A and B are shown apart, each in its own frame.
Chain A
Amino acid sequence: MEQTKILSLHQLSKRYGPVQALNGVSFDVPAGSVFGVLGPNGSGKTTLLAIVMDVLKANSGTYSWFGQSAHHTLRRRIGTLLETPNFYHYYSAVRNLEIAAAIKQHGHDDIERVLKLAGLWERKDSKFSTFSLGMKQRLAIASALLGNPEVLLLDEPTNGLDPAGIAEIRDMIRELGKQGTTVIMASHLLDEVEKVCTHVAIMKKGVLLTCGHVDEVLSSEDMIEVSAPDAGKLEQALNTIPGLRSLRRHNGGFQIVLDNGQTAEQVNAYCFEQGITLNYLALRRKSLEARFIELTN
């Protein structure tokens, strides 16, 4: 059975003067997924999310939410944190959330819950202008959570947060994903995405490089980690190994990706033939970081 699509993009393009920020991007976000949009700075992640929230206008292409043409009432079903926390500086956390709740057409009864969830209840009456960057980010997350939205759209949600805050947000996203909330998250922190996402789309310079389930994107991309007492000699040998696709230094050793069919045993044998005795050999699933670097370089 085909999965329900929460968000569908079709050939979205956006240009800022001479800069092509998005170039014909198309993909679908399945319901219930934790969907990571990855890309280096300037890859078009925020532009993409801003277009689907109607704050930027695409030059061409279309998108739909919940299988329907874009409409402002549909945005009330989505909790969004886009780029920076945007609030009235002269108002307290509570007053700001009252305005957000009124626009979303929710009552004020959920404000206490989301402020407690974001760890801001004690500062509920403090002016937004007195908040630290991390607190502003927490308030933006609280605002996005108002009314238990069906979809969360988070752009760099851990910006400005301390390590404990990052872990809290990560756990929260994972938990919401388990409860069935669809989470769309843009980030350049790959570790963060790899830990929580079920699906990823990788972008570079406005172009979609790959998209799909994390397992699909990373499939057949096993990686072999090796090290030897003489790293220089090992590197020389690895560079001549048949079927080598990529090689990079990692923790004093090397991570290599070979064409399909090559095994760790064959690598060991090859090195031995070259007069190198390995002191470390391990088969690893390629990390998202490695896959990302491979795709974006």
Chain B
Amino acid sequence: MRKFKEKLSERIFFALALSSISVLALITLFIFIKGVPLIAEVGAFKFIFGMSWAPGRGEFGIFPMIIGSVSVTLGAAVLGIPVGICCSIFMAEFAPVWMRNIFRPAIQLLAGIPSVVYGFWGLLFVVPAIRNYLGGPGLSILAGSVILAIMILPTIISISEVSLLALPRHYKEGALALGMTHWQTIRSVQLPAAKSGIVAAVILGIGRAIGETMAVIMVLGNSVAVPQSVLDPVRTLTTNIGIEMGYASGGHQQALFATGIVLFVIIMALNVSAQYITRRKIK
């Protein structure tokens, strides 16, 4: 009887674990079944590099959205990565314990704010600030980058900090014993040693930025033209789906799933490379 119970619970856990994996498989399959016919019909090259998106007239080109996703994510990376890495160095190396005990939960809290709240805040404060001080409609690449930079901070900070703290103590002790200053130790011993963890943190942060939808839909303006400056509105791959799904049917709906495929491939590539980099470090 006891053995039976053991077996049974094992099976139940296995079934539940399997169900979460199979959901992933089903979603992937579904997106591809829905989206591939349209890509085949339009032609992959024309779909990805087409400059005009007007589903009503049968034009499905998502290149302006790819530019949009890349530019907004790049902006978020430029603003967020230096701040995030410096913050993690401060927490791992300089901050006294009591300060670390305030910073760490505060940063976790930053990760817990729902994205729609970031978007709403951005729409009511960041967008008017850009409109009033820098010009343009305010809804812009810059507004999206600022919001996303804040949103990716927790990812970058916590993973980089963990990888800095995980370094063997003797690296640092050895460097200090050789007469290096604290900053020299960080720069030429700690950072290079933790490099793979920090790179993974950055990649995961970028993945988060590319996938974010709700916050940016509210501050980007969602134009389907290729932007000329950081003050121009743009549409990203995610917001293209988010803003049009409510009304889409037929070929239009397929085109949105096809947009999802492109997004899926990009995010998969980012996650796989992050995994690859962290795994290489463990060996």
Please determine whether chains A and B interact with each other in the same assembly.
Answer: no
Query: Interface of A with B (CB < 8 Å)?
Result: none
